């Protein structure tokens, strides 16, 4: 015998509450203190697992951007600057193995990091980090790599995995509680909740990596003002029709530049520079 919709509704809400509670309990019961950022993070994987995931994902990620570049001089420069930033900053205190990769894609303006220290920059972006359109500016390169090192040090990938798992649990609970068989669009509310959770975290992580990048640049002897120049490059590459900040996981380059200026003053004071 089928039960009336009104009779099953309280039961669905109860199950939804239990599903949401389980997701929240799992998320908040896994925590780790990050010595570099001074923050308690909700993370379920170990640094060793992060390193393994990054190494396993590296070949496939390279394939998406035309493979690894064969420009030996450019790769040597990236390794020189990247390792200098790591070895002469607080990043050296982490258990990660930092490897720097140059990707052959000449069109894409991008740099990114995988868990555990695998860091990538495209030929397209490297070619924009120049003095007078010729020589690669090491300070600008240190800014890009320092930002990506910041993602690794702050364990953003591991954080993101935990957040996405939480979002999936909340999405399932909201879907169960709000689903209306007479309204096929009712499931959109659940997806909107998940999207909002992930948008917030994405912006916060990018700004934190900018802040850490400034710190690492100063500790390694680079000029952090050059990271502001990188923001101008990102702004120009996005063009006038770029996605508004509130619709993007990345903060607007102009707003990032303001935060970077504040971070420079903050870290110069903290480091007595």
Percent share of the chain, pLDDT over 90:
58
SS3 category, 91: helix
SS3 category, 120: strand
Q: What is residue 247's predicted lDDT score, i.e. its pLDDT?
A: 39
Phi then psi for residue 52, to 5 deg, are -65, -45
Q: What is residue 44's predicted lDDT score, i.e. its pLDDT?
A: 82
Residue spans per domain, the chain = 32-171+197-270
DSSP H helices in the chain:
5-29, 47-63, 72-87, 123-126, 138-153, 156-178, 188-220, 225-238, 253-270
Q: What is residue 63's predicted lDDT score, i.e. its pLDDT?
A: 94
146 within 8 A of 226, measured Cβ to Cβ: no
pTM, whole model, 2 decimals?
A: 0.79
Q: What is the pLDDT along the chain (273 residues), one digit of tens a residue?
A: 444 444 445 656 666 566 556 555 455 666 789 999 999 988 888 999 999 999 999 999 999 999 999 999 999 999 999 999 999 999 999 999 999 999 999 999 999 999 999 999 999 999 999 987 789 999 999 999 999 999 999 999 888 877 776 666 556 555 555 555 555 554 544 454 445 444 444 788 999 999 999 999 999 999 999 999 999 998 887 665 555 443 345 677 778 999 999 999 999 999 999
222 within 8 A of 138, measured Cβ to Cβ: yes
What is the rounded CA–CA span in Å between residue 112 and residue 119? 6
Q: What is residue 254's predicted lDDT score, i.e. its pLDDT?
A: 77
CA 234 to chain CA centroid, Å, is 16
């Amino acid at each position: 015998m089928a039960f009336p919709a009104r009779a099953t509704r309280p039961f669905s809400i109860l199950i939804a509450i239990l599903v949401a509670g389980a997701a929240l309990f799992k998320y908040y019961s896994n925590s780790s203190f990050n010595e570099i950022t001074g923050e308690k993070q909700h993370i379920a994987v170990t640094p060793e697992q992060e390193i393994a995931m990054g190494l396993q994902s590296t070949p496939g990620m390279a394939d998406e951007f035309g493979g690894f570049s064969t420009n030996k001089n450019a790769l040597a420069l990236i390794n020189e600057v990247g390792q200098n930033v790591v070895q002469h900053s607080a990043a050296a205190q982490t258990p990660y193995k930092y490897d720097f990769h140059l990707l052959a894609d000449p069109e894409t303006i991008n740099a990114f990091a995988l868990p555990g220290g695998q860091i990538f920059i495209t030929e397209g972006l490297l070619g924009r980090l120049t003095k007078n359109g010729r020589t690669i500016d090491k300070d600008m390169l240190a800014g890009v790599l320092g930002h990506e090192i910041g993602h690794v040090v702050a364990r953003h990938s591991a954080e993101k995995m935990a957040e996405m798992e939480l979002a999936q649990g909340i999405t399932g609970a909201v879907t169960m509680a709000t689903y209306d068989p007479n309204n096929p669009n009712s499931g959109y509310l659940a997806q909107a909740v998940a999207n909002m959770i992930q948008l917030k975290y994405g912006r916060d992580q990018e700004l934190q990596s900018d802040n850490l990048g400034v710190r690492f640049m100063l500790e390694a002897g680079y000029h952090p003002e050059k990271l502001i120049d990188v923001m101008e490059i990102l702004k120009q590459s996005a063009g006038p029709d770029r996605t508004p900040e509130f619709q993007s996981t990345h903060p607007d380059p102009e707003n990032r530049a303001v935060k970077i200026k504040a971070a420079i003053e903050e870290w110069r004071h903290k480091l007595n520079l």
